[in-house]
Amino acid sequence: MSQSDRGLRRLAAGTLLVAFQGTTAPDWVLRELENGLGGVTFFGFNVADPDRLRSLTASLRAAGEPVISLDEEGGDVTRLAYHVGSPYPGNAALGAVDDAELTHRVYRAIGSELAACGINLDMAPDADVNTEADNPVIGTRSFGDDPALVARHTVAAVQGLQSVNVAACVKHFPGHGATRVDSHLAIPVVDVTLDVLRARELVPFRAAIGAGTKSIMTAHVAVPSLTGRTPATLSPAALTELLRGELGYDGAVITDAMDMHAITKSVGLAGGAVLSLAAGSDLICLGPLPTYDDVRHIIDEIVAAVRDGRLPAARLEEAAARLAALRAWFGSAASPSVEQNGVGLHAARRAVRLTGAMEPLVEPLVIEVDTPPTIAVGDVPWGVGPWLPQAEIIRVKPADADVPVLLAKATDRSLVVVVKDAHRNEASRELVSALVTARPDTTVIEMGLPIWRPDSAAYIATYGAARANAQAAIELLTA
């Protein structure tokens, strides 16, 4: 391979953010980092404990200058606390409190934990304006449905993370909040005019750019008035004309995971990588599914696209320059100390809401209504069990629940029903309604968005299912 060929391959590899299985780095990842690979992104299965994560990130840094990233939003979407649930409430809870200084403190604490583990980029905050109640992928990940509220908390989150030298990655541009389809499964459509997009979806992104966010993540959503049928991740109109041109953004643009069906079922991994780079992205996040063979194929396809004119070499050089600037910023400050200081629980306590009146608990029976996790969240534990050890807790699937049997077990006992996003699940609503009709003294705890509520004696809204949210709810229940 000639020197020019090696240089081109290095530029191509530099645009990739790869993932791998396990808690140690495979040899191929270390080897590719030495050859210019852009970086890695972690998922829950990569994180065992802080010490092992520090060892992992140190091994990656020894091989190159990688972007080391993960999705740590707090709330339902957590990687550091994937196996136990997050100690921080998510954005919906922070939006419900609506104290931007508190949001800054929470994200500064999250950033401190990440920096202490060697993470230099957090794929957060979620800046989507959640205007669609039946949104299957955003929901409690959003600060709310008001553009101005979402904007001020997005700014606070960006500044909180970046105050401890962890780059923010504001997502999902140009907005995923008005969708009813999960882009992990298909291409969602945001069918609004450009005027609506500017007045609603783009408000938080414009604010984040003003606040100096170091990166922005693209969404695999089509906006017919802007991108036609093409997902924004692959659209020059979205990434070059709107984001770079109209909004004036010159930081790093990172794609959402390219192994999502919105991409793989339309243009494929390698084809999507080339199209996205040509559209204006700088770093291609591949997600957890692609293998090393896939990674090599994508690099080869990027090189081939430059050679045959589909992708200007100048685009790769521009991406490399932006990532070099990002790496220089990473190295501009000392690592901070962890400063959690209970701010997560404090925020969750401020967010929790009680409607109605509760009686003291008597041999409580807790029925947790099972809710399938979304792909973005993964199988993170949730529920109230750790904070209510005196209770009998039953986890039921709505379709399989035997209401008479459950009511019989609850005879002469306090009945507590825990649900998550009941407004999105008819079977959950029917089960809760049947229980509450028979037992009007039931306390219902909603650990998703409190959009639907039954006529129960007491109703507790947590605005999220993180560990901190559950603890705050039980403190209220047992006060």
Active site residues: 184, 256
d(CA 255, CA 220): 8
The type of residue at 375 is I
Partners of 365 in beta bridges: 392, 415
Residue 215's Cα: distance from chain center in Å? 14
CB count within 10 Å of CB 425 equals 20
Partners of 121 in beta bridges: 69, 167
Residue with tokens 């069990």: 385
Q: How many residues does the chain have?
A: 479
DSSP letter string over 385-434? GGG-TTSEEEEE-GGG--HHHHHHHTTTS-EEEEES-GGG-HHHHHHHHH
Q: Where are the beta strands (DSSP E) in 88-199?
A: 121-122, 167-173
Alpha helices in 282-342 (DSSP H): 292-307, 313-330
- CB environment 320-352: b (16+ within 10 A), e (fewer): bebbeebbeebeeeeebebeeeebbbbbbbbbb
d(CA 48, CA 15): 27
> Which of these, 277, 237, 239, lies nearest to 258 by C-alpha position?
277
DSSP letter string over 430-461? HHHHHHHHH-TT-EEEE-S------S-SEEEE
d(CA 104, CA 106): 6
